[in-house]
Structure 1
Amino acid sequence: MSAQEITSADRNGLIYFSSVPFDSYAQRPHFMVSAFADHGFGKILWIDPYPTRLPNFADLRRIGSHPASLTHNNDMRIRVLRPSALPIEPLPLAGFINRVVAWKPVLARMTEFAHDTEHCVLAIGRPSRLAEWALAHIPHQRSFADILGNFPAFYRGVSRFAMNARMSAICRKVTDVYCSSAQLAQDLSRIRRDAVVVLNGYCTENLPPPSSPVSRKYIGYVGTIGEWFDWPLVRSIASALPTVPIRLIGPEFVARPPDLPANIECIGEQPHEQMAALVSEFAVGLIPFRINDLTAGVDPIKFYEYRSMGVPVWSTEFGEMRSRAAADGVSLICHESSWEHLWDAVNRSHCDFENVARFRADVCWSKRFEPILTRVRRPAEEAARSEFCGETSRTSLDLSAVRRSHSTQLVQFNGRK
């Protein structure tokens, strides 16, 4: 990087309100801020999430739990703030109270950060009162919301109502809205018809080549086992294929059903650096999610994880998986599926190494974020005078066009790629 480029980068800053803690498994937020740091943003301020709902009894089980091991390097270009907050976010005056008793250092740091940059961007990965305050009071040139899920669906009662109102308010105020699935963009179309779909991706750099078929023996799952995990479906697979081992990898946050078939193996959370080796032993990758409000807008990263290793996928018909089929290496499953027939098809399949290489290139995080990076470099006033990609049309919503375009990294939610 030249001296001129370094000077320019020092003038660009990003304040990122993350949906996950910095000290967690590397996810879309981590790769996004790294992409900003690699593409001209010399200053990045990461704001860890704080409780945005009222506490419940389930929170007691998480006290003292061990955080997941880090899977990303300590990037010196990224400064992390961890706001404390009273868990009263959904209640009236909660923002005022937390600004008085908890947020003064954070507010001062954000203000100082913005004043030290010439082109400041606010990015909101999870709606909150703190992020909403920043939109109103922190000097910035552009802002965007990166909507990764149906946040209100994770909450109940007054917490759900408050999160829904906050997400709507923030999406109205930011310069741009990006969504990780077409369903999320459709849900927001009432208030932001210009929402842009930027699908998830995967860290495909430095992956080993796909394994040979002889080393693949498991029906496997990698990820959290939560309330969205369809245990009855997994049991039915195990019962129908008693000689096939089913390996489940990841932390469990719901009770394991009693009397599981003997061929189901739960090995818990494993170091992220071992994931490629573990997935390479999968004959098929499972995504057994329930179909409900929680999963309707999900583009599961495990799809990209499996396919980047050449592993075929069995998935329920939820979220973005509804638009994927055999050409994407996906078989859509349900409780009535013929498991013997599906397993025979897996055993007859072969891995196309050239297709895997193309897939890896298409879904790498750096390519996914190119449209966002191009957009945020432009002042909001300039963007208002110049239509996105030269021909933005906001006259219609064409879902079918969106769902035909999963091989691209960006879809504007009006049917145009």
Structure 2
Amino acid sequence: MDVVVTSLEAWDTVWRRNQHLVAGLLRRDPTLRVLFVEPATDPLHAALGASQPRLGRGLRAGPALDGIRPEALWLLEPTKWLPRRVDRRVDERWARQVLRTARSLEMADPVLWVNDPTGSLLVEATTWRSLYDVTDDWTLAERSTAETERVIAQEQVLLARCDEVVVCSPALAVSKGAVREVTLVPNGVDTAAYLVAHDRPADLPDGAVAVYAGTLHGDRLDVDLCAATARALGGRGHLILVGPNALATEQRSRLESAGVVVLGARPSAEVPAYLQHADVLVVPHVVTPFTDSLDPIKLYEYQAAGGPVVSTPVAGFRDVVDERVVVASRETFASAVADALTHAGEAGLPLTDPDRVAGADWSRRVDQIVQVLASVHARGVNS
């Protein structure tokens, strides 16, 4: 079977849901081939901002991965030359490039796995069997009116026409399940990575540390709360942010001025070390309809690491029954982190406890996706 994945995230060293699931599938089935379509680069937007502009890398073989045969994984990184307001056919050009690339790989009748809603154009342009994997409700994110209307229109196509719809959170199961039948496949964790005691990362400051691990994005991270928390810690410890930085330059400046240590992205294989050596694990997220739609991967990672957690009342953390997790309001969050940092280690709890999330191992999620893909594939065979 061939699968074309339209992903919201690039295939890099920071592994997220798509990479864990796709790699797991490729290891299970040596005959499977995957074309993984990454987000397009945007040289013009980068040139107007603080980033270094570059062209997309186009089609290339995926990296060498244990247990996956060469040429089973292909990556496609397109280039977005102009904004949609200037080039109204930018998404159509993207879809045609994906189709040409699939044909060049002799993928005549692949299963389409849509994570980026732009994949709706491929649903409309082909007879490919299709799966819509909803990991974020972008219809609820704060965007321009034009962008919101575009995403809503694309999702309407996906919910109406895809053979299967998978959601990652109970909230999404309710909202999307009101429209059609969906399958809940939550996020997970690589429990094996937490069975090993890792050395303290050299770039962690000396002394007590409160650590956040995840993409630094204004849709999720409460920048003002992070700054207030760092100031509340004073000389007692540091607030550390580990993860890809998608913040505006002004937001990062505010964080660093308040004393927040922004480390940036680290390979997923290194993240367990940061979590194991955190005195407190924190989730300073905004609470919005968008964040309420999420199933935070960090919930499972934090539980596997085993340390105390302080979180704002966001989905996942506010619902979990766990004596290590303290849910604090925005008003009390900073003091709760300071208090947890002061008393870290007094409870005598184990520092690493991956058995607590064994049922959420990515291998279990791959089992579920295998069943969904088998259902999608069977529709073509039986039609």
TM range (shorter): 0.7 to 0.9
Inter-partner Cα distance in structure 2 for 1:283 and 1:316: 18
Compared CA separation, residues 46 and 249, structure 1 to 2 (3 A): closer
User: Does structure 1 retain, via aligned residues, the 8 Å contact 2:173–2:184?
Assistant: yes
1:361 aligns with 2:358: yes
Deviation at 1:364, TM superposition (A): 1.8
Inter-partner Cα distance in structure 2 for 1:43 and 1:164: 31
User: Does structure 2 retain, via aligned residues, the 8 Å contact 1:51–1:89?
Assistant: no
Structure 2-normalised TM-score? 0.78
* Deviation per residue, 1:120-163 (Å, 9 max, x gap): 421101111xx2243244444x4211111122315312111111
Deviation at 1:302, TM superposition (A): 2.0
Q: Please tell me the residue identity of whatever aligns with 1:203.
A: D
Q: Please tell me the residue identity of whatever aligns with 2:102.
A: M
- Which residue number in structure 2 is paired with residue 78 of structure 1? 73
**Structure-to-structure mapping, 1:60-139, within 5 angstroms:** 60-64=49-53, 73=64, 76=70, 77-87=72-82, 94=89, 98-99=92-93, 104-111=96-103, 116=108, 120-128=110-118, 131-139=119-127
Compared CA separation, residues 332 and 21, structure 1 to 2 (3 A): same
Deviation at 1:343, TM superposition (A): 4.3
Structure 1-normalised TM-score? 0.72
Q: Please tell me the residue identity of whatever aligns with 1:281.
A: H
Identity fraction in percent: 19
- Which residue number in structure 1 is paired with residue 225 of structure 2? 233
Compared CA separation, residues 173 and 216, structure 1 to 2 (3 A): farther
- Which residue number in structure 1 is paired with residue 237 of structure 2? 244
Inter-partner Cα distance in structure 1 for 2:207 and 2:27: 37
**Structure-to-structure mapping, 1:215-234, within 5 angstroms:** 217-227=208-218, 228-234=220-226
Compared CA separation, residues 379 and 197, structure 1 to 2 (3 A): closer
Q: Please tell me the residue identity of whatever aligns with 2:239.
A: I
**Structure-to-structure mapping, 1:1-400, within 5 angstroms:** 12-23=1-12, 25-40=14-29, 41-50=31-40, 60-64=49-53, 73=64, 76=70, 77-87=72-82, 94=89, 98-99=92-93, 104-111=96-103, 116=108, 120-128=110-118, 131-140=119-128, 142-152=129-139, 153=141, 155-192=143-180, 194-209=181-196, 217-227=208-218, 228-242=220-234, 243-252=236-245, 253-254=247-248, 255=251, 256-257=253-254, 260=257, 264-327=260-323, 329-337=324-332, 338-339=335-336, 341-343=339-341, 346-352=344-350, 356-378=353-375
- Give the unaligned 5+ runs of structure 1: 1-11, 386-417
Inter-partner Cα distance in structure 1 for 2:168 and 2:25: 18
Deviation at 1:237, TM superposition (A): 3.4
Deviation at 1:346, TM superposition (A): 3.9
State the Cα RMSD in Å.
3.7
Compared CA separation, residues 106 and 380, structure 1 to 2 (3 A): closer
- Give the unaligned 5+ runs of structure 2: 57-61, 200-205
* Deviation per residue, 1:71-92 (Å, 9 max, x gap): 9745631012233445455899
User: Does structure 2 retain, via aligned residues, the 8 Å contact 1:110–1:138?
Assistant: no
